[in-house]
Structure 1
Amino acid sequence: MKTEWRLRVTKCDVDKIAKEAGISSIAAKILAGRNIQDVEEVKKFMNASLEDLHDPFLMADMELGTDIILDAIDEGRKIVVYGDYDADGVTSTTILYKGLLNLEANVEYYIPDREAEGYGMSSDRIKALKEEGAEVILTCDNGISAVEEIKLAKALGMQVVVTDHHELPFTETENERKYVLPEADAVINPKRPDCTYPFKFLCGAGIAFKFIQALYLKLGLEEIEAYQFIEIAGIGTICDVVDLIGENRIIAKNSLSMIKNTKNLGLISLMKVLGIKGKEIKSHNIGFMIGPCINATGRLDTAALSVELLTTEDVMRAEELANILYELNKTRQDMTMENVEDIVHIIQNSDLKNDKVLVIYKEDIHESIAGIVAGKIKEKFNVPTIILTRGKEMPKGSGRSIEEYNLFEELLKCRDLMDKFGGHPMAAGLSIKEENILLLRKRLNESCNLTEADITPKIKIDKRISLSMVNEDLINELERLEPFGKGNSSPVFAEKGIAISEVKFLGKNQNTLKLSCLTNNRERIDAIAFDKVEEFKGMLREKYGSGFERVISNPSGLKLDIVFYPVINEYNGYKNKQLRMKDFRLSI
């Protein structure tokens, strides 16, 4: 499937913005393409200053929730931080637990088991916590949907403070949705309809940080005491794939600068194992290295290991836990790759290849990686994908979608077929009886309005630039736009008619493509693309037939159009400019 290239169009005066904001016109064009077009907004974006964080007490119930916790600390009552098993839940739990420990609270934490208990609060666990002496439950990254479980906790005489960022549950009639709040003592969630907090897109770790910030402010502590938790909040923010704008950007950007010089023993040990200790830490280091290791414990063991890693004060234990996380993630990667290959084979050799919504039941997939597998299948075929596996009571799984398809709303139309489901437009989780799986596939595809244009992969190009414009000054300025992720994607450039002087295939599996490109000044600059070798060979084979191998060995005269992002590559102490290719095609 050929990818469609689209150049972003902006109507504002980019040169004027650049001059007034003190940035290059290229950076101004990139920001304008992300709807950051006001000079003051541009300055705030570039600075990402902690001074621009909002007052935490603007959140509904923040006063009430912090009062409850401070009273519990004063009275020595046992507080349990009730977290979740993903990276956002782990970092949220870490922030609240360490933040309360610093105040000498009587506090413990609990992370549910993914397979035995599933997401969120469990009635059996609430009863067990009560028997263990818990008097106050402080949730993080969960709780907003735990209506019945919170009723039980209250009936057992416990106080409950909810901190969460997920969408509120609702009842629906023909004309309207009525949102339901759990009957907790305090419910802190910016997505509450009555919450006037200016920024609605914090993740669980972001809200946990704001809660600790509010507690410390109430106690008259220096603001820097609360700011230490931004380091951990940034990991949750990047890993939870929330929009990296506003407060999320402030938290994530400041977190990255703090992590490089972290004093956290667990992070130090994990970065050593990953080989990134002492290096500049970027968003991709968090999203594709540190985050997956933290997530792996919740998928294949217990996420409590990750919380222990981030909270331990024992060097040897930190090193032991870092190695456990690293090995668990390697196992998870192998399991994922094997299942993705199997499912690709199933799709390509069945009528599934004709579906515009993929619903696939593979009993032996570990349920903890169903979402990752769904994401990779979605990326390969560019259609909404639901992967189901054998659950404890019935099949369960996860879905991932494309921008043109609201997965949550489409599943809502099929809720009669499912036992449980929840999520948002781009991702969802569900459990369903086996006999209803084919019905779900049939109904989703019959009601699907996706066109061929909708499912054609698209790359949005920020600007066309010549390769001679790629220099260290440009690359350094682009790095100021970090961290990249949802809502602030990595800038993408393109150029036509690039002369290729050499073609190489690298790596153990020869699956990395390296092209030597020539600038207009005949300067050489390397371009790298991972897992694109077969695509490259196929493109040449289609054009040159059996002579395509001669073109590879002697590419004189070969010209390509390339979509890329420029970086400084460091290897064996040497630094050089490099293009990371997103796509390529033969020049016309």
Structure 2
Amino acid sequence: MLPSKTKWNFTYKQNEHDQEAPLVKGVSQLTGQLLEKRNIKNPEDVENFLNPSHNHLHDPFLMEGMALATSRVKLAIEQNEKILVYGDYDADGVSSTTVMIEALREAGATCEFYIPNRFTEGYGPNEAAFREAAASGYSLIITVDNGIAAVHEAEVAKEVGIDLIITDHHEVQNELPDAYVIIHPKTSPDYPFNELAGVGVAFKFAQALLNRLPEHLLDMVALGTIADLVPLTNENRALVHLGLKALSQSKRIGLNALKEICSIEGAIDEEMVGFSIGPRVNAVGRLQDASPAVDLFLTQDPEDATQLAGFINQVNQERQKIVSQIAKEAEEILLSGEQPLGEVIVVAKEGWNPGVLGIVASKLVRQFDRPAIVLAIDPEKEQAKGSARSIVAFDLFSNCMEIRDHFLHFGGHSQAAGMTLDVEGIDHLRSSLCLLAQQKLTDDDYQQILDIEMSVNIEDISLQQIDEINKLRPFGMGNPKPLFHIKETPKEVRLIGSQQNHLKMLFNRDKSKLDGIAFGMGDLYHQIAPSSELDVVGELSINEWNGRKSVQIMIKDMQVQKWQLFDLRGSKHLEKKLDFPHGEQTIAISFNGENRSPHDIPIIPVSELDSLNPKDVQRIVLLDMPKQLSQLSEVIQKLVPNNIYACYQVENSAYFTSLPTRDHFKWFYGMLIRRKSFHLVKDREKLAERKGWNVSMIDFISQVFFELGFVKMEDGLITIESSPSQKELTESLLYQERREQLYVEQTLYYSSYKELKGWLDEQRETVKEEVLNGL
């Protein structure tokens, strides 16, 4: 057996729709099921989902405060007031800032942008920046992607004579700022969709201000929306669908320079944004001032664009190194017990870069399967600042709001948050969150979950089918990329990659072929036995190589549900061929006193079998063969292991010196009667050559006759007993042992893989029958 690393949630019952007719007209049965699972059933909904358009965008004036906000901006333009766009340092904030600046300038405003420094100012509005803006002659500040928690800063704005327009999408807290106007989907009961990203809200403002749809800004909308991981449903789906086309065709000089850095050509999809463009834009604000990212998207100078794109890429490379180092340090702190590894991880250290701690927290969540808060300690301020990421079952925002008094600053979403607190409160925060987790979560809640759309057969997977599934794009939160389950025995499993840390599989049934790629799962190579039926879960995709296309599944997890036999009979260098997972007890079984085992696995003599608890043993390594098959049967039926490693060899084999027949014994005895005597040392070679027998067979026949009292043996000379007792050959213990040895070797060593596994299956079935019969 091979357990899955995650919890598999089959969201679709395969027999619910056992019909040939498609569920949705115009698409295949499989795609129709995917649409139905998304509650998209009638023709109009299907058309809207598969073909998002401008018609699916909502009226920006349905958002509360929009009319007042646009009137105030138009007044500022008429009166030539200076407007400051106050942004944020992540990709959503950068794209929001770009959208707002371009819209304001297009409307004729005099404006500049300001993005606070993550390290010296922190997230969101701050008093010093507002006072400096007033001193610099700004009379109107528009926040983008921040501000909903800026209660104090709103008061400061009033005090210094600045009108504050807040545009934000983050969770609304207990008290709203007393701003000139707040534009926020979740404070707008008449707005049909409340899950816009910060850039989505900024875009709606731009649409209202310009009184038309600013399609040239959709590239930034797609970037910010995808990078901020908001649900790609409803209006967000339309915005990203249109925005990806705009990204692909964009004439924005800075964006194209960044695409060239990322080696992106042609059509852009959400994965390219999420894994290539977005992280690079985020990196600047994580390590320093994010302003160069906005400059990149606003510039009209090709030379500046090339330099800025190169700089941003360099910063991203540095970010990757810092993340790797901090993640390693955090792991060591937790595993060493230096800081507790509780139900909720709270790990802190001086010297960590606060800008990358969200990424580190995500890594810890995946590694330890629990919420994680990673904090950087500032010894001068005696404060800790950091980021949090969570598991599905634990809402970070709501749980942290229950203990809001622990924080100096706090904000975020259900799965991600940022906070600042006093250093002395770190332990209290950890214990409080762990207590909440103990009260609200079960053991199953901590295991990562894969939501599986459906099980498919490889013959149902084709290039055309995958193209049709891709019509459901863009994938993201609220519309996840479908995960499929396949049950099949791979024809081939091999290690790939420069470090041999990935798996490649080939599934083949009739004329259908499917490649499987499992990145980072090379450690499972030695845990998959040949001929094992695998359950794999992954994403279907198309691989294109040298102009040829083929179907493949990008494997996310796998398992083997049945017990496995690893056939290493007669193999040398077992150390290289055996690799056992941590946390699963493996023991070696010896029938004949073997005292060496690979990897120093503990050796258990058969005589001590009763000392073992079968539940504690998942794997057994058979070091040698038993004298009798019943001995191995007893081991199998006692332990019922999930995995058996046959590692034994044969010396002095009985298989190739076959058991003499009754005719062999009869002829030899007749020869003794005729000759009166026979000398083993002097005569057996001649007899073996004459009869075509093996010398060892002559020795064996002689020993059996001697044991039964048919002959005398003295110094190698054999003579007939004058009046022997009548006995059967089977009464000889030597004969019985040789016959059993031959049977043991034939069953356990010289059998095929299929034959050996079949025999072991029979022993396991005996246990099942006893359990079923109540024994």
TM-score by length of 2: 0.69
What are the residue-to-residue correspondences of 1:542-557 with 2, within 5 Å? 555=530, 557=531
State which of 11, 21, 27 in structure 2 corresponds to 1:23.
27
What are the residue-to-residue correspondences of 1:521-532 with 2, within 5 Å? 521-532=510-521
State which of 348, 356, 360 in structure 1 corresponds to 2:347.
360
Partner of 1:182: 177
State which of 561, 579, 583 in structure 1 corresponds to 2:535.
561
Partner of 1:8: 11
Going from structure 1 to structure 2, the CA distance change for 1:182 and 1:436 (only over 3 Å counts) comes to: closer
SS at match of 2:249: coil
1 CA distance for matches of 2:329 and 2:204? 44
1:429 Cα shift? 1.6
1:8 Cα shift? 0.9
SS at match of 1:169: coil
Partner of 2:93: 89
Going from structure 1 to structure 2, the CA distance change for 1:12 and 1:120 (only over 3 Å counts) comes to: farther
State which of 138, 141, 151 in structure 2 corresponds to 1:137.
141
Code of the aligned partner of 1:249 = R
The alignment status of 1:385 with 2:380, answered yes or no, reads no
2 CA distance for matches of 1:332 and 1:418? 27
Moved more, 333-342 or 478-487: 333-342
1:127 Cα shift? 1.2
1:563 Cα shift? 0.8
| 1:157-182 deviation per Cα after TM superposition (whole angstroms, max 9, x unaligned) | 22222111122221xxxxxxxxx332
Going from structure 1 to structure 2, the CA distance change for 1:276 and 1:538 (only over 3 Å counts) comes to: same
State which of 387, 391, 402 in structure 2 corresponds to 1:402.
391
1 CA distance for matches of 2:443 and 2:176? 41
SS at match of 1:404: coil
The alignment status of 1:577 with 2:512, answered yes or no, reads no
What are the residue-to-residue correspondences of 1:123-522 with 2, within 5 Å? 123-170=127-174, 180-192=175-187, 195-217=189-211, 223=212, 226-278=214-266, 280-350=267-337, 355-391=342-378, 393=381, 394-449=383-438, 450-506=441-497, 508-518=498-508, 520-522=509-511
Code of the aligned partner of 1:559 = E
| 1:420-440 deviation per Cα after TM superposition (whole angstroms, max 9, x unaligned) | 322232122222222221222
Structure 1, unaligned runs of 5 or more: 171-179, 218-222, 541-550
1:21 Cα shift? 4.8
SS at match of 2:9: strand
| 1:44-81 deviation per Cα after TM superposition (whole angstroms, max 9, x unaligned) | 21111111111111010111101111121122211111
Going from structure 1 to structure 2, the CA distance change for 1:165 and 1:12 (only over 3 Å counts) comes to: farther
CA contact (8 A) 1:268 1:277 kept: no
Going from structure 1 to structure 2, the CA distance change for 1:585 and 1:13 (only over 3 Å counts) comes to: closer
1 CA distance for matches of 2:20 and 2:536? 29
SS at match of 1:205: helix
1:296 Cα shift? 0.7
2 CA distance for matches of 1:238 and 1:96? 18
Partner of 1:115: 119
Code of the aligned partner of 1:195 = P
CA contact (8 A) 1:559 1:586 kept: yes
Going from structure 1 to structure 2, the CA distance change for 1:289 and 1:345 (only over 3 Å counts) comes to: same
CA contact (8 A) 1:503 1:516 kept: no
SS at match of 2:491: strand
CA contact (8 A) 2:540 2:551 kept: yes
| 1:123-154 deviation per Cα after TM superposition (whole angstroms, max 9, x unaligned) | 11111111222121111111222122122222
Going from structure 1 to structure 2, the CA distance change for 1:50 and 1:18 (only over 3 Å counts) comes to: farther
Going from structure 1 to structure 2, the CA distance change for 1:341 and 1:572 (only over 3 Å counts) comes to: farther
Moved more, 457-466 or 440-449: 440-449
2 CA distance for matches of 1:401 and 1:565? 23
Partner of 2:673: none
SS at match of 1:160: strand
Code of the aligned partner of 1:474 = Q
CA contact (8 A) 1:82 1:111 kept: yes
Partner of 2:55: 51
CA contact (8 A) 2:85 2:112 kept: yes
Structure 2, unaligned runs of 5 or more: 563-775
SS at match of 1:345: helix
1:320 Cα shift? 0.7
| 1:337-370 deviation per Cα after TM superposition (whole angstroms, max 9, x unaligned) | 2222232233333286752211111223210011
2 CA distance for matches of 1:18 and 1:157? 64
SS at match of 1:260: helix
CA contact (8 A) 1:147 1:181 kept: yes
State which of 83, 107, 110 in structure 2 corresponds to 1:106.
110
CA contact (8 A) 2:5 2:557 kept: no
Going from structure 1 to structure 2, the CA distance change for 1:412 and 1:164 (only over 3 Å counts) comes to: closer
Partner of 1:545: none
Code of the aligned partner of 2:479 = N
Code of the aligned partner of 2:161 = G
SS at match of 1:504: strand
Going from structure 1 to structure 2, the CA distance change for 1:320 and 1:575 (only over 3 Å counts) comes to: farther
Code of the aligned partner of 1:186 = V
SS at match of 2:489: strand
Larger relative contact order, structure 1 or 2 (CA cutoff 8 Å, min sep 6): 1
1:416 Cα shift? 3.4
1 CA distance for matches of 2:368 and 2:542? 31
1 CA distance for matches of 2:202 and 2:386? 28
2 CA distance for matches of 1:282 and 1:229? 17
1:300 Cα shift? 1.1
1 CA distance for matches of 2:512 and 2:340? 45
Partner of 1:174: none
CA contact (8 A) 1:265 1:315 kept: yes
Q: Which has the larger radius of gyration?
A: 2
1 CA distance for matches of 2:536 and 2:41? 27
Partner of 1:546: none
Going from structure 1 to structure 2, the CA distance change for 1:41 and 1:469 (only over 3 Å counts) comes to: same
2 CA distance for matches of 1:572 and 1:320? 33
1 CA distance for matches of 2:331 and 2:511? 42
SS at match of 2:557: strand
What are the residue-to-residue correspondences of 1:26-37 with 2, within 5 Å? 26-37=30-41
Going from structure 1 to structure 2, the CA distance change for 1:413 and 1:143 (only over 3 Å counts) comes to: closer
Moved more, 310-319 or 406-415: 406-415
Code of the aligned partner of 1:418 = F
Code of the aligned partner of 2:452 = I
Code of the aligned partner of 1:529 = A
Code of the aligned partner of 1:516 = L
